[in-house]
Amino acid sequence: MGSISENCLGWAARDTSGVLSPYNFIRRDTGPDDVSLTITHCGICYADVAWAKNIPRNTIYPVVPGHEIVGIVKEIGFNVRRFKVGDHVGVGPYVNSCKTCEHCKIREEVHCDAETTHTFNSVDEDGTITRGGYSSYIVVQEGYVFKIPDNYSLISAAPLLCAGITVYAPMMRHKMNEPGKSLGVIGLGGLGHLAVKFGKAFGLHVTVFSTSNSKKDEALNLLGADKFIISSDMQQMESSAKALDFIIDTASGDHPFDPYMALLKPSGVLVLVGFPSEVKFNPMSLLAGSRAISGSVAGGTKDMQEMLDFCAANNIHPEVEVIPIQYVNEALERMENRDVKYRFVIDIANSLK
């Protein structure tokens, strides 16, 4: 099959300034196992800033970021069975994996032994560099494309493909979908606000921890949290000692861990999904009460599809600010300054020309 190679229009960073500007490039043809989709929207993730500015020190310039991709199928390869032209679909942080290791076989591709191929700034199996969703279309192998239920908004789906799965996967792994349990959420950004929404949909008692009182009203009234605690207020913190089954820590700024560990019940778990520069705690924080600390990144394709279906069935929608691609540099800067409620989504369809 395979279409004529057409120019794909995107926005790319050329150097460590991280500033993005228009960029034309060639996508591969649609192979027998591929799905080609017209991108309608792309969420903005902190990873986009990190690789645009070469913070992980492995950026291959020019880099086209974006791994919260949604759109409409425009072409399929002849082996593709799960999708048809016109379907609403999504693509997350990776677009390939080895398919044969023990993790890939159980659809936990995020842990692939050979390492997953990331949606941007990775080397694909044909030797080309992957380029992400700040672009007009993308070609991805069928197994790494997700069906977005017809009744669910594409704008809402975009942030689920990274921010959503990053909190959903560990919640499922630690059986935090059992009503009546108690959840703490540290930090109320793109990930944190979705952790609150999932927690409430699962029937949990949800406490939000923030450094600033300015988020209290939204945490309780917009997102439906049950309790709001200022993390620097030791009295408030101590009043919740041994009260939580589970904590999701989305904070990327440096912060102490012992005060939060003290809030966990015996056998409670703190899952770290943020990126502080170090993690330090007193061994007694773990030993006393048999507590655990765990980490998590994204999730496998099985969890991803389950989460999209769950959000559609339960009417869970991220809080987003939709922007044109021309505003992307300001948006990236605002995200670095935590000035977004709670996820930017780029309207590719109406602004990328």
Q: Measured in whole angstroms, how far is the alpha carbon of residue 305 from the centre of its chain?
A: 14
Q: How far is CA 125 from CA 91, 103, 128, 141, 218, in A?
A: 17, 19, 7, 11, 45
The amino acid present at 309, given as its one-letter code, is D
Query: Taking Cα atoms as reference points, which of 13, 257, 48 lies closest to residue 163?
Result: 48
62: number of CA atoms within 13 Å, CB side?
Answer: 14
And the tokens for 69? 């991709």
How long, in residues, is the chain?
A: 353
pLDDT tens digits along 282-331: 999 999 999 999 999 999 999 999 999 999 999 999 999 999 999 999 99
Q: How far apart are CA 14 and CA 11, in angstroms?
A: 10
pLDDT tens digits along 60-74: 999 999 999 999 999
CB 170 within 8 A of CB 271: yes
Q: How far is CA 281 from CA 45, 102, 201, 260, in A?
A: 28, 33, 32, 10
177: number of CA atoms within 13 Å, CB side?
Answer: 11
The single residue listed with the structure tokens 């690789």 is 51
What are the residue boundaries of the structural domains of the chain, listed by start?
A: 8-162+299-347, 164-295
pLDDT of the residue at 260 = 97
Q: DSSP states of 69-99 as a string?
A: EEEEEEEE-TT--S--TT-EEEE-SEEE--S
> 204: helix, coil or strand?
coil
Contacts of 72 (CB under 8 A, 6+ apart): 37, 38, 40, 86, 87, 88, 89
Report the interhelical angle of 190-201 vs 165-173 (nearest 10°): 40
Q: DSSP states of 109-143 as a string?
A: GGG-TT-PEESSSSB-TTSPBP--SSBSEEEEEGG
One pLDDT digit (tens) per residue for the chain, 353 residues: 444 545 899 999 999 999 999 999 999 999 999 999 999 999 999 999 999 999 999 999 999 999 999 999 999 999 999 999 999 999 999 999 999 999 999 999 999 999 999 999 999 988 999 999 999 999 999 999 999 999 999 999 999 999 999 999 999 999 999 999 999 999 999 999 999 999 999 999 999 999 989 999 999 999 999 999 999 999 999 999 999 999 999 998 899 999 999 999 999 999 999 999 999 999 999 999 999 999 999 999 999 999 999 999 999 999 999 999 999 999 999 999 989 999 999 999 999 99
Specify the pTM. 0.95
pLDDT of the residue at 6 = 59
